Structure 1
């Protein structure tokens, strides 16, 4: 997740019932193929799906221009199955027109320098403050078809999930840690749970890398809330690494291992979540290399 300048409301996604499977025998240019067959409209209690989460790709799509938002989105749009994507603070940062406009504004309006760059980008999309952002997330979620389950896709996770260095949204770069979650997302979730009958089994996000800063250990990548909502961090960085770890090995000569976080949803409930590594050979052949189960009815790591 892909993941910071962004608008939460634009990242919210609800998935109608689909059946999705990973096909290691049908590789794409960057990973094992993920295929889906549309299903008839089903209630949240009957919905089943397999979702492949790819977070914080950081130039790992093997496309010459993959850091430019347009090419990145086209590569995803070409995939022939249901999908959703969100851009983040590493996407099109130096090439997008707004980045240029920001500098122009700074020179013509000196007071603009005092404003947070992220806030300026939020205002560009009609959001003036955290309350406004939370309200937009809330309103979009309310548009979910009746009896469908809701999966939220966000750049970063919400506040309230811990403040230790290794917590799912903990500040690993700051002495003493701290909660780096997003308050608008937390506020929207609270309102949705208090005032609607929406079934929200899963919140997916990235941005907070699994490997902590200064190599201080690994981050918790999954949290189960008191209401059984699962918060999943997909930011495995780097998500592409050489198969052969010898110093002379390269991605081109030895093939690669590529990370996906697979989520199994059965009858509206999350049954299993696993960090999955797929090997991709030079000739395009793929195979399952490793599976690290994170959740199997309860958090395991």
Structure 2
């Protein structure tokens, strides 16, 4: 495929959770992607695993854009406090160690662009906005850390900061990609919706209010982002017991992507090993995305297994 100077080809990797090997590092390094975007949650629950994955990711020989997820730099006690909605003051007990883990992870990520309340120019006519890091939905998470590092302690302050960051963008000349860990509110309250809740009987919208309000207000001013990327809510639905979550949604000129296929490395009944990512393309000014699967370390080979075809086609187009 031949691209003109305005075309882009970007790899998008969902929540890794320990599922990353040298196969991935070498594949993306040798690919013809312009860059690689990561939605965070690099490691699993084993101590030090996040940093080992970060070191492998840092060796990808492409520009890398990463937002930290709620499992990156945090501890199990901190996560439990967030899940139980413990008072923010309890966070001070572990804050010092949190900062140390945070600094160590940034070092291990090497030359990666860490997207966190900042704006990057990512080539001709393209900007990437980093939203609130460490989000895990339901409420404003990790208040002590966000206040200490970014000076932000509420949804309102978070939304205000995002507005400040994009103030100077000429939306007629630059496309905006928003990168978050958890997606925006307002895109559905069913278990299979792109950021719907699949672990409560009442289901519900699990998107972030600050991000959702920010995007809607931009749209009201005819300053829509072209693409919004976030993970956190995995494709494998706990409620419906099958991989049913919508991973791509187009609505009112915005392409929403949730690439969090967990595990992103898996085997089929024949013993083949598959590696998942999403291919994001701008062609003639139009953005679109397709789920991609490497088979045993090489480009996908057709026909794909039926369960993978079902996953690829879990999309929603509105308006």
User: Structure 1: how far apart are the matches of 2:94 and 2:181?
Assistant: 27
Q: Look at both structures and tell me which one has the larger radius of gyration over its CA atoms.
A: 1
1:82 paired residue among 53, 63, 76: 63
Tell me which residue corresponds to 2:213. 187
> Cα gap change, 1:58/1:215 in structure 2, threshold over 3 Å: closer, same or farther?
farther
TM superposition shift of 1:164: 1.0
Tell me which residue corresponds to 1:121. 145
| 8 Å Cα contact 1:151-1:200 kept in structure 2 | yes
User: Is 1:29 equivalent to 2:22 in the alignment?
Assistant: yes
User: Structure 2: how far apart are the matches of 1:260 and 1:116?
Assistant: 28
The DSSP-based 3-state class of the residue aligned with 1:263 is: strand
| 8 Å Cα contact 2:183-2:207 kept in structure 1 | yes
TM superposition shift of 1:295: 8.8
Tell me which residue corresponds to 1:288. 300
Query: Which range moves more in the overlay, 173-182 or 211-220?
Result: 211-220
Tell me which residue corresponds to 1:200. 225
User: Structure 2: how far apart are the matches of 1:122 and 1:179?
Assistant: 23
> Cα gap change, 1:236/1:116 in structure 2, threshold over 3 Å: closer, same or farther?
closer
TM superposition shift of 1:77: 3.8
TM superposition shift of 1:233: 0.6
Tell me which residue corresponds to 1:236. 261
1:103 paired residue among 84, 88, 93: 93
User: Is 1:156 equivalent to 2:172 in the alignment?
Assistant: no
TM-score, structure 1 normalization: 0.65
> Cα gap change, 1:118/1:17 in structure 2, threshold over 3 Å: closer, same or farther?
farther
Tell me which residue corresponds to 1:278. 294
Tell me which residue corresponds to 1:112. none
Tell me which residue corresponds to 2:122. none
User: Structure 2: how far apart are the matches of 1:139 and 1:74?
Assistant: 32
User: Structure 2: how far apart are the matches of 1:278 and 1:187?
Assistant: 37
The DSSP-based 3-state class of the residue aligned with 1:131 is: helix
| 8 Å Cα contact 1:52-1:262 kept in structure 2 | no
Q: 5+ unaligned residues in a row in structure 1: which ranges? A: 1-15, 23-27, 38-48, 107-114, 247-253
User: Structure 2: how far apart are the matches of 1:287 and 1:105?
Assistant: 43
The DSSP-based 3-state class of the residue aligned with 1:213 is: coil
User: Is 1:137 equivalent to 2:162 in the alignment?
Assistant: yes
User: Is 1:269 equivalent to 2:286 in the alignment?
Assistant: yes
User: Structure 2: how far apart are the matches of 1:210 and 1:88?
Assistant: 16
User: Structure 1: how far apart are the matches of 2:75 and 2:154?
Assistant: 25
| 8 Å Cα contact 1:157-1:206 kept in structure 2 | yes
* 1:74-100 CA-partner distances (Å, limit 9, x unpaired): 4434322232111112223239x9x99
| 8 Å Cα contact 1:53-1:260 kept in structure 2 | no
User: Is 1:67 equivalent to 2:50 in the alignment?
Assistant: yes
> Cα gap change, 1:192/1:260 in structure 2, threshold over 3 Å: closer, same or farther?
same
The two structures, once aligned, show a CA RMSD in angstroms of 4.0
Aligned length: 241
* 1:242-272 CA-partner distances (Å, limit 9, x unpaired): 35x46xxxxxxx673110111221122114x
